[in-house]
């Protein structure tokens, strides 16, 4: 091995033995990025938080408050789903609040939890859960109560379910998987002679990626494949981490230990991406918006990006199709994150209120087919088997990506919108551009990892 540097109300459950979580129990701890003193001082914000959202102590048992970070088409879709669920559950009233995506959202969520006046439930990227669960900002789900409302472990892929657990308990309930995939223009691919009989573009190695890109460029008259990564805080990391796992290379990223990464495997990925950036196969100067514009206008025939861009591409590209990230290094794998529902720690709640929260969440997951219209892959597997979802194209052409997902390392400093993704991306950008040697770039990634791992763990 290379060096390792539709639901109806059901009878109320009124006892813990019947599956209701302990009321008022709360773990203690802190949140990454906020000191213990800062969190304690946030207690003064409790009246403000209580006024801004409907907490369990000051609202009817059937009123459920929920925070999310969905805007645009996702936001409209989510509000529509909530309205349908509210109609389906007798007596339920849902109070949704949408906040800005990224660190501001997660900081506000931590502040609300620490002041003990959070929403009943909130959307959280699964990649951020390891930074919240250890510090007592989240309450684990009760498996028995989940089963009573129709949610079982076997209704989710093993990798996704495992990513939602911490210390043997379920802290996140997955709504979707959103992987990093390949979109392509069928018309351009067909003219270039790279469209296979099954409608996909066959790419089985870095060299074949190069060949396909060159042929696409002959048709577009510009470049073949778009990838927007310059000045971006996540794209380079997303591409690298998925491809690295295709190599079978090993990595050790654990708090309390030195970082270890298969340098040869990492360098092979960095070198391959750099080889594509020859100005024909792939331009080396695209930022995120530039890549979207390049593919949307037909200047490139393929783009490596997140499935969350489906809505925009569907409007711009007449012959749009998509597929999971091509397997170029031996083992199918692709980077992904997931939107999940978490239960921020509460000062107290009644068994009846808890039941309403669980029924609301179960109904939302069971509406996965509707959520999938925006591009996300429903996490609840029965939702993928509905006619509503099976008829969605190109969603069904990349749905298999949910079986080979790779998430961020489960440590406190990783996840969507973090400085970790940004700093890893900045190193990778230099490697992708060829300004530093691939092996040196891989070693620099280890240095960044060690810097994070040696920092005080605020969840300890």
Span 258-294, pLDDT tens digits: 999 999 999 999 999 999 999 999 999 999 999 999 9
The CATH number given to whatever domain includes residue 344 is: 3.40.190.10
Regarding whether 308 and 205 lie in a shared domain, the answer is: yes
Regarding whether 189 and 298 lie in a shared domain, the answer is: yes
Judge whether residue 152 has pLDDT over 80.
yes
* 107: in domain: yes
Regarding whether 148 and 83 lie in a shared domain, the answer is: yes
Handedness of CA 405, 409, 413, 419 (dihedral sign): negative
CA 218 to CA 323: how far, in whole Å? 22
* 93: in domain: yes
Query: Residue 45: what pLDDT?
Result: 34
CA 34 to CA 111: how far, in whole Å? 9
Query: Residue 281: what pLDDT?
Result: 98
Query: Residue 59: what pLDDT?
Result: 61
What is the extent of the structural domain holding 145?
A: 16-174+339-378
Query: Residue 390: what pLDDT?
Result: 92
The DSSP element (H or E) to which 342 belongs, if any, is strand 339-342
Judge whether residue 321 has pLDDT over 90.
yes
Query: Residue 115: what pLDDT?
Result: 79
CA 293 to CA 308: how far, in whole Å? 15
Regarding whether 360 and 307 lie in a shared domain, the answer is: no
Judge whether residue 221 has pLDDT over 70.
yes
Range in 49-58, 72-81, 139-148, 376-385 the model is least confident about: 49-58
Q: Could you give the number of structural domains in the chain? A: 2
Regarding whether 225 and 266 lie in a shared domain, the answer is: yes
Query: Residue 37: what pLDDT?
Result: 31
Q: Which tokens hold the place of 413? A: 């400093």
CA 366 to CA 176: how far, in whole Å? 11
* 257: in domain: yes
Regarding whether 219 and 349 lie in a shared domain, the answer is: no
* 55: in domain: yes
* 36: in domain: yes
* 6: in domain: no
Question: What value does the mean pLDDT take over residues 318-323?
Answer: 97
C-beta of residue 242 within 8 angstroms of C-beta of residue 235: no
pLDDT tens for 342-386 read 999 987 789 999 999 999 999 999 999 999 998 999 999 999 999
CA 259 to CA 251: how far, in whole Å? 8
- Name the average pLDDT for the chain: 88
Question: Which has the closest alpha carbon to 407: 134, 234, 135, 179?
Answer: 179
Judge whether residue 318 has pLDDT over 80.
yes
SS3 257: coil
Regarding whether 371 and 263 lie in a shared domain, the answer is: no
Regarding whether 241 and 169 lie in a shared domain, the answer is: no
Question: What value does the mean pLDDT take over residues 35-51?
Answer: 34
Regarding whether 218 and 153 lie in a shared domain, the answer is: no
* 362: in domain: yes
Regarding whether 227 and 125 lie in a shared domain, the answer is: no
Q: Which tokens hold the place of 69? A: 């970070």
Range in 109-118, 227-236, 275-284, 394-403 the model is least confident about: 109-118
* 458: in domain: no
Query: Residue 216: what pLDDT?
Result: 98
Regarding whether 252 and 282 lie in a shared domain, the answer is: yes
Pairing of strands 339-342, 173-174: antiparallel
Task: Name which residue leads in pLDDT, 179 or 6.
Answer: 179
DSSP string, 18-70: GTPPPSS-------TTS-HHHHHHGGGGHHHHHHHS--GGGS-TTEEEEEE--
Q: Has this prediction a pTM greater than 0.95?
A: no
**Running DSSP on this structure, what letter comes out for residue 11?**
P
Q: Which tokens hold the place of 251? A: 């990595």
Burial of 54 (0-12, 13-18, 19+ CB in 10 A): buried
CA 291 to CA 296: how far, in whole Å? 8
- Strand runs labelled E in 56-202: 63-68, 93-98, 121-125, 165-166, 169-170, 173-174, 176-185
Regarding whether 57 and 29 lie in a shared domain, the answer is: yes
C-beta of residue 133 within 8 angstroms of C-beta of residue 170: no
């Amino acid at each position: 091995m290379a060096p390792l540097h539709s639901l109806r109300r059901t009878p109320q459950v009124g006892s813990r033995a019947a599956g209701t979580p302990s009321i008022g129990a709360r773990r203690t701890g802190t949140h990454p990025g906020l000191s213990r003193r800062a969190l304690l001082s946030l207690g003064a914000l409790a009246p403000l938080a209580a006024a801004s959202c409907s907490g369990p102590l000051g609202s009817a048992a059937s009123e459920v408050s929920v925070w999310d970070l969905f805007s645009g088409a996702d936001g409209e879709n989510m509000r529509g789903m909530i309205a349908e669920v509210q109609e389906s559950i007798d007596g339920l009233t849902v109070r949704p609040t949408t906040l800005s995506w990224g660190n501001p959202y997660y900081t506000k969520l931590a502040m609300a939890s620490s002041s003990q006046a959070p929403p009943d439930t909130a959307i959280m990227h699964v990649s951020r859960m390891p930074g919240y669960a250890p510090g007592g900002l989240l309450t684990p789900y009760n498996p028995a109560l989940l089963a009573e409302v129709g949610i079982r472990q076997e209704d989710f892929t093993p990798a996704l379910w495992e990513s939602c657990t911490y210390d043997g308990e379920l802290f996140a309930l997955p709504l979707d998987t959103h992987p990093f995939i390949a979109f392509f223009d069928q018309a351009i691919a067909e003219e270039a002679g790279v469209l296979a009989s099954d409608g996909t573009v066959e790419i089985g190695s870095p060299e074949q990626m190069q060949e396909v890109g060159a042929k696409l460029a002959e048709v577009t008259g510009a470049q073949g494949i778009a990838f927007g990564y310059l000045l971006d805080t996540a794209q380079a990391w997303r591409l690298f981490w998925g491809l690295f796992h295709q190599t079978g290379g090993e990595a050790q990223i654990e708090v309390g230990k030195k970082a270890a990464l298969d340098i040869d495997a990492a360098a092979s990925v960095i070198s391959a991406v750099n080889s594509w950036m020859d100005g024909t196969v792939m331009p080396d100067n695209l930022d995120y918006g530039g890549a979207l514009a390049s593919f949307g206008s037909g200047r490139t025939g393929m783009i490596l990006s997140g499935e969350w861009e489906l809505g925009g591409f569907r409007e711009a590209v007449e012959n749009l199709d998509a597929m999971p990230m091509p397997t170029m290094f031996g083992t199918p794998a692709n980077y992904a994150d997931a939107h999940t529902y978490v239960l921020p720690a509460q000062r107290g709640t009644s068994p009846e209120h808890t039941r309403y929260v669980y029924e609301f969440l179960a109904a939302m997951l069971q509406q996965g087919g509707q959520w999938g219209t925006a591009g996300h892959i429903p996490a609840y597997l029965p939702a993928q088997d509905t006619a509503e979802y099976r008829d969605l194209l190109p969603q069904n052409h990349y749905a298999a990506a949910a079986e080979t997902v790779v998430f961020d390392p489960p440590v406190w400093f990783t996840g969507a919108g973090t400085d970790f993704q940004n700093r890893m991306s900045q190193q990778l950008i230099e490697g992708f551009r060829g300004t530093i040697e691939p092996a040196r770039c891989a070693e620099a990634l280890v240095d960044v990892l060690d810097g994070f791992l040696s920092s005080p763990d605020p969840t300890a």
